[in-house]
Chain A
Amino acid sequence: MTDHYLISPILTHLFSVILLLFCWKKVRLQKVISISSNAVIMMIAVFLWMKVWNQGILSMQGGDWQAPYGITFVADTFSATMILLTAVAGFAVATFSAAGISKQRIQHGYFPIMHLLLMGLNGAFFAGDIFNLYVWFEVIIIASFVLMTLGGKKPQMEGAINYVTMNLLASVIFLTAIALLYGLTGTLNMADLSLKVALVQNRSMVNVTALLFFVGFGIKSAVFPLYFWLPSSYNTPPSAIAALFGGLLTKVGIYALIRMFTLIFPPDEFLHYLFLFVAIATLLTGAAGALIKRDFRKMLSYLIICHIGYMVAGLGLFTKSGMNGALFYLFQDIVVKTNLFLIAGVIFKMMGTMNMDRLGGLAKSHPRLSALMAIAFFTLIGIPPMSGFWPKISLIRESFTTDSYLLLAALIIASFLTMYVMMKMWTDIFWKAQTQEIPQGKNSFDELRPHHRQLLIIPIAFLCLLSLALAFGAEQVAQVSNRITTELMEPQGYIDAILKPNSKP
């Protein structure tokens, strides 16, 4: 099905960027524009998702040049779901930013850059052309660079250097891989590539290209051993920015990995074992890193890495229910990681520190808020019936049936370590008696005006509700990820939707 209005989320973001740039110094107006445009985009995303669900894969040709020559935008169920989750996370972060980001940062262009980042994410999910994917990745990284360094002090700058270097390197590797792929096949359209890569005689070159893609996306999605930039940079920017990064940026790497390695390079034996090895190492090292850190956001950063392992494991298993688990995990992880970083922001506002040794006593001073935050904590651990539980079960069962016992052990150990880390966090932050007085003027949360406080709490409550909905609607979510798995594992439908858009199946 062709649909000319497919890319309206991207266009709406672009339009908000322009609007926000025009009111550069008007802080309050920028907040209003950003929140309302994010709300509009969330509605558009819901409509788009319904449309894809009912009508199948939608595609659009930029400039009316037919595929495989034009620039293709595609929305299959996977893209549409990612767009929807991006819109949800974007809305939550924009609302949180309205109270959580300082006036100086907003005057230096925080909101336009945030919309640019969200536009890049949407574009990457829609891209049906590999070079177009590269361009959207560049939009994402350039926006994230600016967000990373905006109004920064020394630690933020140090984190930014790590982040910028690794991401620039990743995009050069990505570009190299595209060059090789174009040299091999002479096309850039992903559907066309899917057909032509299978016909290439020089298989070793294809494998080299696949590995280059894996390294490029691996840096972006922070898998072992390419993740060291993440924990040293994600804890430095303000929490709203970290939430956007932690929730979405590594996930777009995973999205690209899943897309590439289902559509263009279906894993052979070597890639299969490589993925499993990387998954195991990522799970264990990420969890171990979270164990030894004592800074709230650093622990969360390592947990991001650890949980990327689950998704790579699902891709590595490359079976229907393995992929199913990976996708379900991906969806719920976006919601819960965004939420946890927002929670970290609120806690920082209350206590003026992120250090576990100095935090404490929140359950006593803010009982209702603590109950709300408990939902996010338990979701991450995956205590049944929370949403983290269901995908883990299907991954563990699948590694049993495929006799990948090492992976099975790693999955279970990582789950236990996650639980231990989260429990330690919970007792340290909420139950432990407050060890020392909060320094004067550090508790800015209780001094905020009530409507600002609500702006901080509403997105957290919203994401918690969504987590609960994902948990209790697990059957529906499993249906969605089932359908996505079918679409990914049998890419003929995707290919036909792009190359023969007007023939009805």
Chain B
Amino acid sequence: MNSIILRTASAYLLPLLLLFSIFILLRGHYEPGGGFVGGLTAAIAFVLHLIANGLQKTRSLLRYHPGVFIPTGLLLSFASGVAPMFVGRPFMTGLWLSEPIPVLGTIGSSLFFDVGVYLVVLGVTLTILFTIVENT
């Protein structure tokens, strides 16, 4: 689509939406939000960029093939799920630091799990959409 309004707007909206998606991701443990919604929001940010600027530009903006996000995210989630098994607790038990860290709050293994989900959702959504756009 060739619209100067959309192109200008998307340039500002992209960082804003990405920031918002990270906000949703971090908020997710005790309040509505989380990795899945965050990942979708981030994907929407890139989709907006894609609609405004075309596939080529979005590809070069991302640098990596979106497929790479999937195994990275899976690995992160997998590691956070397996981690408790090394201290003799069942799979996926939440392990928490005792002291909260400024800005981020209390860090636990479920945060890493959510980050993994975020990356997987982002990767899957972008891969599907890129494939659809590519073939039309």
Contacts and interface: CB of A to CB of B under 8 A. Distances in A.
Direct chain A–B contact by Cβ atoms under 8 Å? yes
Interface of A: 2, 4-5, 7, 11, 14-15, 17-18, 21-22, 24, 60-64
B71 to A, nearest CB: 4
Given A18-B74, A18-B78, A62 B92 contact: yes
A9 to B, nearest CB: 12
Given A4-B88, A5-B85, A14 B93 contact: no
B59 interface: no
Contact of A63 (B71, B78, B88, B92): B92
A491 B93 CA distance: 28
24 contacts: A4-B88, A4-B89, A7-B91, A11-B78, A11-B82, A11-B91, A14-B74, A14-B78, A18-B71, A18-B78, A21-B71, A21-B74, A24-B67, A61-B90, A62-B90, A62-B91, A62-B92, A63-B91, A63-B92, A63-B94, A64-B84, A64-B89, A64-B90, A64-B93
A24 B82 CA distance: 24
Contacts of B93: 63-64
B117 to A, nearest CB: 14
Contacts of B90: 2, 4, 60-64
B75 interface: yes
Contacts of B89: 4, 64
Interface string B70-109: 1100110010011011001111111000000000000000
Interface of B: 67, 70-71, 74-75, 78, 81-82, 84-85, 88-94
Contacts of B78: 11, 14-15, 18
B66 to A, nearest CB: 12
6 smallest beta-carbon distances between A and B, as pairs: A21-B71, A64-B93, A63-B92, A4-B90, A18-B74, A18-B75
Contacts of B92: 62-63
Nearest to A5: B85
A21 B88 contact: no
Nearest to A2: B90
Contacts of A60: 90-91
Contacts of A22: 71
Contacts of A7: 91
Nearest to B94: A63
B91 A21 contact: no
A7 B85 CA distance: 11
Given A4-B91, A21-B67, A63-B92, 20 more contacts: A2-B90, A4-B85, A4-B88, A4-B89, A5-B85, A7-B91, A11-B78, A11-B91, A14-B78, A15-B78, A17-B74, A18-B71, A18-B74, A18-B75, A22-B71, A61-B90, A62-B90, A63-B90, A64-B84, A64-B90
Nearest to A3: B90
Nearest to A61: B90
B122 to A, nearest CB: 15
A7 B75 CA distance: 17
B85 A21 contact: no
Contacts of B88: 4
Nearest to B85: A4
A451 B90 CA distance: 43
Nearest to B92: A63
A359 to B, nearest CB: 38
B82 to A, nearest CB: 6
Nearest to B89: A64
Nearest to A73: B91
Contacts of B84: 64
A112 to B, nearest CB: 9
Contacts of B71: 18, 21-22
A7 B84 CA distance: 14
Contacts of A64: 84, 89-90, 93
A22 B68 CA distance: 8
Nearest to A19: B71
Which of B70, B90, B92, B94 has the largest count of A CB atoms less than 10 A from its CB? B90
A15 B78 CA distance: 8
B119 to A, nearest CB: 12
A246 B91 CA distance: 32
B64 to A, nearest CB: 12
Which of B71, B81, B85 has the largest count of A CB atoms less than 10 A from its CB? B71
Contacts of A14: 74, 78
A195 B100 CA distance: 43
Contacts of B82: 11
Contacts of A24: 67
A61 B94 CA distance: 13
A61 B71 CA distance: 26
Contacts of B75: 18
B98 to A, nearest CB: 18
A14 to B, nearest CB: 6
B94 A21 contact: no
Nearest to A24: B67
A61 B90 CA distance: 7
A62 B93 CA distance: 7
Nearest to A10: B91
Contacts of A5: 85
A21 to B, nearest CB: 4
Contacts of A18: 71, 74-75, 78
Nearest to B84: A64
Contacts of A62: 90-92
